[in-house]
Amino acid sequence: MEQSFYDQVFELVRLIPKGRVSSYGAIAKSLGAGGSARMVGYAMSTAGAAHPAVPAHRVVNSSGLLSGKFHFKTPEMMQELLEAEGVLVKNDKVQNFKNLFWNPLMEL
């Protein structure tokens, strides 16, 4: 059975190593979706009900901004989780983002 685009996103996001972050666009591209970066983010909103838990906090937009922090249980949780993994977050932005960026296409 064909898994929805969402499921593909979930799986890929789960592959993001701890202490690393990725962007919606990069994930979309690695799935061959290209311009459907929005779908990746949209999928994340359903990720809350996904099994196993999807580390959505490791996914940020191309600017390293925690765009979806408001979708978590609490807006601050996203930053807390990231910092707990060693990712420094300031002003809702991932510091050293370029360095912590995990590119699926490159790492896989």
Residues that bind DNA (CB under 7 A): 4-6, 23-26, 33-42, 44-48, 56-57, 59, 61-63, 67-69, 71-72, 78
* Element spanning 59, H or E: strand 59-60
**How is residue 6 written in tokens?**
């969402």
Instruction: Work out how close the CB of 28 gets to DNA at its nearest, in angstroms, rounded to a whole number.
Output: 7
Determine the Cα–Cα distance for residues 78 and 83; give it in Å rounded to an integer.
9
Of 17 and 48, which CB lies nearer to DNA in the complex structure?
48
Q: Tell me how far CA of residue 57 lies from CA of 3, 32, 68, 86, in angstroms.
A: 23, 22, 8, 13
Instruction: Work out how close the CB of 38 gets to DNA at its nearest, in angstroms, rounded to a whole number.
Output: 4
Instruction: Work out how close the CB of 86 gets to DNA at its nearest, in angstroms, rounded to a whole number.
Output: 19
Of 35 and 52, which CB lies nearer to DNA in the complex structure?
35
Measured in whole angstroms, how far is the alpha carbon of residue 67 from the centre of its chain? 10
Instruction: Work out how close the CB of 5 gets to DNA at its nearest, in angstroms, rounded to a whole number.
Output: 4
Determine the Cα–Cα distance for residues 29 and 25; give it in Å rounded to an integer.
6
Of 45 and 96, which CB lies nearer to DNA in the complex structure?
45
